[in-house]
Structure 1
Amino acid sequence: MTHPDRPDQAHDPRDPRDPRDPPDVQSLSAYVDDELGDAERAVTADRIARDPASAATVAAYHAQDNALRALFAAEAEPQVVVMRPRARERYLMAACWLVVGVACGYLLHMLVPALGNNRPPFAERADIAYAVYAPEQRHAVEVAAAQQDHLVNWLSKRLNRTLTIPSLAEYGFQLVGGRLLPGEEGPAAQFMYQNAAGERLTLYTTTVTRAQGKIRMLRDGPRTTYYWAGNGAGYALSGQIGEEKLQAIAYDTCKELGGDPKSW
């Protein structure tokens, strides 16, 4: 239908919008700020006339501009005026800052652990495995020490490397047995030891592609883990027997497994 008081406005066939549609906020802002060409201004004016809500918005914009001019009209000297963004612009700015904040937070979440912690994943897995299985009484291991040959052959086959179970008898710890665990880069093995006082240690080993230098320590509450890597394998000795004693056992275990901790 056509407006009874004015002829229809020419409509560009390339414009997908219907000339009778209400104008959007951007068009209203450009109309008030006199930023439209003659033809587009005429089309927008016609749309405003057809839509009471748009007409009210334009009136509010004009009232805001007039109030600002009246506020400073009586000043004798030029004033520096800090213009606050209009409501529609403030919403847009807030949305932009929200997107930027979310993006920065995501990047920090990804980068901070990488920058602040170069601990290999197998060390944390070893610490967690100790916390889970060391307290167990009936199911601490899958294969008991009485079947040590079977245990070594089975885990060596699963890890695709010849495994050796170090002796910790010098420190009063005897082998309880072992189990198969999932690792970061494939299967992992956990061997458990226990002394006469019921204290337990676990030796965790798995395949690693990135060698770790010196023997390092991970502490989580009462638990301590010393870990190292070499020749494509990662090792971690975990326990709650005191850091100095556990460190001494870790160095001897490292040497028994073919490493040379002193050179590290």
Structure 2
Amino acid sequence: MNDDDLGHVPDAAPHDSPAEDLSMLGAFVDGELPPAGREALQARLAGDPHAAARVAAYRAQKAALQALCAGARVAGEERGAPGAADAADAAPAVLVLRPRTPWWWRAGRAAAWAAVGAGLAVAATALVPRLAPGLAPGLAPAGLAPELAAVSAPAAAHAETPEAFARRADIAYAVYSPEQRHPVEVGAADEAHLVAWLSKRLGKPLSVPSLAEYGYTLVGGRLLPGNTGPAAQFMYENDAGERLTLYVGSSAADRDPVRLLRDGNRRTFYWSTERTGYALSGPQTEPKLREIALDVCGALGGEPGQW
């Protein structure tokens, strides 16, 4: 034991014992003095309040250390670690004291970092829309939230190619034309409502061309998802049960010629007129499908140059 461990012990008086007396006090607390020396020191303590205070401080520190070491030994024995009790008896326990950061300091530091993060988020929200127009088309900064990344990508990057439009129409035909009980959402008996509803959803006036001269009557129609918005599908059927579908959606091109997409036993003729895409799909067994497609194209505003 030394004076550094007892910072709260009263300072010795100028006439106090020399340094070797401190060792004697420590030996007295530890029970290491012979009987004669112990009795002499006890007599001295009765008249030396500074030495008596130091002995009391030594004893308090010794009792605290013994209590801590005993608690560590008991904890090791309860865990059942092999040789825990022997190790505790063989080597003295070491107590490491670390200063704790006050709770108010930790809370203040956390609040400061939160404020910094909020400020950066506000700054990024304000700056990204200004910087985004300078990005290359179709590129968005890595790690941006979807709503911010969308600002940097021009609308043209989302435009669907005519071939992709045709494949979307072909898949819709393959999915719904075999349906027997629910091939459409709204039947032909309510054609006026069907056309008004789909026109409103697509944001443009639609019309349903008649295919009666080819032996097909309207079954009805349904609303479908397109690439950049809603799309519509009208279904026709002949007496033999064969079906055709007319798929309508938005197009990035003002006018495209009539083209053909082949997929298995399905055929799709597709084109665009006044930024509206059209695709007529049917089975390959329909020999007049191209003729029907050209007729529909003309009925919906197409020109001979597209044929």
User: 1:134 corresponds to which residue?
Assistant: 177
Moved over 6 A (4+): none
- In structure 2, what residue type is equivalent to 1:213? D
Determine the C-alpha separation between the residues in 1 that align with 2:175 and 2:306.
33
Give the partner amino acid of 1:223: R
Of the three residues 243, 247, 250, the one matched with 2:293 is 250
Kindly state the Cα deviation for residue 138 of structure 1 after the two structures are TM-superposed: 0.4
**Correspondence for 2:280 among 234, 237, 247:** 237
Are 2:260 and 1:222 equivalent residues in the alignment? no
1:31-180 matches, cutoff 5 A:
119-180=162-223
- State the Cα deviation string for residues 122-162 of structure 1 (Å, max 9, x = none): 11110000000000000100000000000000000000000
Contact conserved, 1:254 with 1:261, CA < 8 A, in 2?
no
Q: CA deviation at 1:119?
A: 4.2
Instruction: Give the Cα–Cα distance (whole angstroms) in 2 for the partners of residues 158 and 189 of structure 1.
Output: 9
> Which stretch of the first structure deviates more once superposed, 148-157 or 239-248?
239-248
Q: Could you tell me which residue of structure 2 aligns to residue 115 of structure 1? A: none
8 Å Cα contact 1:214/1:261 also seen in 2 = no
1:213 offset after TM fit, Å?
2.3
Farther-moved stretch of structure 1 (161-170 vs 234-243) = 234-243
Corresponding residue SS for 2:196: helix
Contact 2:256–2:306 (8 Å) recurs in 1? no
Equivalence for 1:84: none
CA contact (8 A) 2:224 2:231 kept: yes
Kept in 1, the 8 Å contact 2:265–2:284? The answer is: no
For residues 212 and 262 of structure 1, what CA distance do their matches in structure 2 show?
10
Structure showing greater radius of gyration is 2
Identity %: 62
- 2: distance between equivalents of 1:163 and 1:262? 22
Q: Secondary structure at the match of 1:149?
A: helix
Deviation by residue 1:1-50 (Cα, 9 ceiling, x = unmatched): xxxxxxxxxxxxxxxxxxxxxxxxxxxxxxxxxxxxxxxxxxxxxxxxxx
Asked if the contact 2:184–2:221 (Cα under 8 Å) also holds between the matched residues in 1, the reply is yes
Structure 1 or 2: more helix by fraction: 2
Residue 209 of structure 1 and its aligned partner are, at CA, apart by: 1.6
The 5 A counterparts of 1:199-210 are 199-210=242-253
Which structure has more RCO (C-alpha within 8 Å, separation ≥ 6)?
1
Match of 2:303 in 1: 260
- SS of 1:184's equivalent in the other structure is coil
The amino acid that maps onto 1:179 is R
Offset, 1:212: 5.2
**TM-score, normalised by the number of residues in structure 1:** 0.54
Contact 1:172-1:195 at 8 Å conserved across structures? yes
Q: Normalised by the size of structure 2, how large is the TM-score?
A: 0.46
Structure 1 unmatched ranges of 5 or more: 1-117
**Structure 1 residue 243 displacement after superposition:** 6.1
Amino acid at match of 2:280: L
The separation in 1 between residues aligned to 2:306 and 2:251, in whole angstroms, is 20
For 1:203 and 1:209, locate their aligned partners in 2 and report how far apart those are by CA, in whole Å: 19
Partner of 1:42: none
Runs of 5+ consecutive residues of structure 2 not aligned to the other structure? 1-160
Q: In structure 1, what residue type is equivalent to 2:195?
A: V
- Cα deviations across residues 87-110 of structure 1 (Å, max 9, x unaligned)? xxxxxxxxxxxxxxxxxxxxxxxx
Superposition RMSD on alpha carbons, in Å?
1.5
Q: Secondary structure at the match of 2:178?
A: coil
